[in-house]
Amino acid sequence: MSYTPESTGFDGLLRAMDRQSAREREYAAREAQYEAESRIERAHRAAFTAHCLPATLIEYTAWMIGWLRQGHEPSSVVDRSFNTPGMRLDGSLGGSAVGGLRVSEADPSWWTLAERPTNVPSLYGAHSLHVIVPEGVDFAPRDVPDTFHGGCGHSTFYFMDGFQIVGDFTPVYSDMLPVLANTL
């Protein structure tokens, strides 16, 4: 509660309490809006991944070898294995859910497109996807919807046909290094 010198007496205390209540209502409304948007993104993600299978280290390493042989460089070297799941924070540190922060294993972010999707969502942050598109799947870079990020939100699509990419996330994982060292 914010109490300033100019807000003296009981009336000042009541005004400070009203301002605090208004801030808490505003926070709760923003939190509810975020949760609603997050549920929608999870539903779009699930609808898309219904057309996919979990990706493997072998598939991504094959794409990376082709990408590197074309003269490109990785965006980063990650000090963990490809299959190590990430962690996700859910809940809130403030507002009505004080102490409601939970840590859980994140949904897989790497997928292999098994068939042409009916809809490709623009996903952001923890909802984003990394999709390997094998040769023979009727899906090309032009099929990825464009956003102000240059392609499909924060998701990245790796096309085996020509080792093309839509997005900019091209990490090398620690368990890829021995294969890359022996291949390149």
Contacts of 46 (CB under 8 A, 6+ apart): none
Number of domains in the chain: 1
Residue 25 in domain: no
What is the reported pLDDT for 101?
Answer: 65
Local confidence band at 184 (pLDDT 50, 70, 90 cut-offs): confident
As a whole number of angstroms, the distance between CA 80 and CA 172 comes to 9
Which amino acid would we find at residue 42? R
Residue 30 forms part of a structural domain? no
Task: Give a yes or no: residue 18 inside a domain.
Answer: no
Q: Domain range holding 146?
A: 51-183
Q: Which two tokens stand for residue 179?
A: 């294969």
- Across 177-183, average pLDDT: 91
Does some domain include residue 38?
no
Residue 180 is inside which H or E element, if any? helix 177-183
What is the share, in percent, of the chain residues with pLDDT greater than 70?
Answer: 80
Residue 34 lies in a domain: no
Q: What mean pLDDT comes out for the span 30-44?
A: 84
- Please give the single-letter amino acid code of residue 102: R
Question: Considering the domain boundaries, does residue 60 fall inside one?
Answer: yes
